[in-house]
Amino acid sequence: MCWKCKKAILYENPIGRSMTCSSCGADIRCCKNCRFYSPGSYHDCAERPDELVSDKERANFCDQFQLEPSFRTDHGGKNETDASKKASDARSAFDSLFNS
């Protein structure tokens, strides 16, 4: 979903700097749509960016950019039930470590 309008982002890789949300026109390749966006961290990023991106809502050239997985709607990729099943399986495996 778009960080601004919360609508699904339909895209195909790679995400170019000029791509915008089809619903609201917000830039897609921006910090607020990135999986590494972490307010309060160094430069508000979980990675160590080379340069400060001052406007987190505008398109940028950051090499670390990856679309936040929860914001993504792939064309022909894995569907949400696959991700939910993996998360459930991982949680069950984790819980079994403490319930032996």
The pLDDT tens digits for 62-93 are 988 988 887 665 543 444 455 566 777 777 77
Provide the pairing of β-strand 72-74 with 9-11.
parallel
Cα–Cα distance for residue pair 29/18, rounded to 1 Å: 8
Parse the chain into domains and list their residue ranges.
9-98
Provide the whole-model pTM: 0.65
Residue 2 and residue 23 in contact, taking contact as beta carbons nearer than 8 Å: yes
- Spatial contact of 29 and 16, defined as CB atoms under 8 Å apart: yes
**In whole angstroms, what is the distance from residue 38 CA to residue 47 CA?**
9
Report residue 60: phi and psi, to 5°.
-145, 180
